[in-house]
A and B are shown apart, each in its own frame.
Chain A
Amino acid sequence: QKEVEQDPGPLSVPEGAIVSLNCTYSNSAFQYFMWYRQYSRKGPELLMYTYSSGNKEDGRFTAQVDKSSKYISLFIRDSQPSDSATYLCAMSGRTGTASKLTFGTGTRLQVTL
């Protein structure tokens, strides 16, 4: 079993839809959770960063962490064609300069006109 599971998609939604992206994990030591967006042939771009359980909102993006269920989500409201990309969840058990990230496989999102 992988430490982090993420549905690879592709997920296709119409413009304006609410998108829900999810990851599950097995390592209870994970405390720091991130979502990255990666466009084709580009490096990942940090979207959201959360610590422990709870919600965090930034514009059209909301990140949720449920540590009791080992489940994290990213919601995108009013999705736009420019949101079409691969979304990677990442997590680590510690912060500091020696922290290593464990990534999900990424979900490919396509927002259609």
Chain B
Amino acid sequence: GAVVSQHPSRVICKSGTSVKIECRSLDFQATTMFWYRQFPKQSLMLMATSNEGSKATYEQGVEKDKFLINHASLTLSTLTVTSAHPEDSSFYICSANRPGLDNTDTQYFGPGTRLTVL
């Protein structure tokens, strides 16, 4: 299967600081990556779609100025949580879209990043 990595796996920061999370597709090129957040015992909520070389598309209710997304290459997307607050504490997961045969693209997920804002 395809491999997607995330770094860091866990981060604790003070309120008001910014945190950058990296998502990499290790063995395939991904023109599209997705960022999700997941609260305890809840499902994944899509935050934004990250497209290589263009602006990200944000879901309704997600502040684009707070959650900055950069998809600078075909294997790397970054999510920066700016001026983080305790309510931003969550599990952030990225996925990378892998092109397949017969146009059956599949999303592969990273291991997630647990953010705790004190």
B32–A103 CB distance below 8 A? no
Nearest-CB distance from A51 to chain B (Å)? 6
Binds B, one of A12-20, A70-78, A94-102: A94-102
With A46-B1, A100-B49 as given contacts, are A95 and B44 in contact (CB-CB < 8 Å)? no
- Tell me, yes or no, whether B64 is within 8 Å of chain A by CB: no
Give the bracket for the number of chain B residues in contact with chain A.
20 to 34
B104–A97 CB distance below 8 A? no
Within 8 A of B (CB), among A27-48: 32, 34, 36, 41-46
Partner of B97, one of A45, A97, A104: A97
Within 8 A of B (CB), among A51-99: 51, 88, 95-99
Q: Chain B residues with Cβ under 8 A from A101's Cβ?
A: 34, 46, 107
Nearest-CB distance from B26 to chain A (Å)? 14
Q: Chain B residues with Cβ under 8 A from A99's Cβ?
A: 97, 105, 107
Partner of A43, one of B46, B97, B99, B112: B112
- Tell me, yes or no, whether B76 is within 8 Å of chain A by CB: no
B43–A96 CB distance below 8 A? no
| Chain B residues within 8 Å of A, Cβ to Cβ | 1, 4, 6, 31-32, 34, 41-44, 46, 49, 51, 91, 93, 95, 97, 99, 103-112, 114
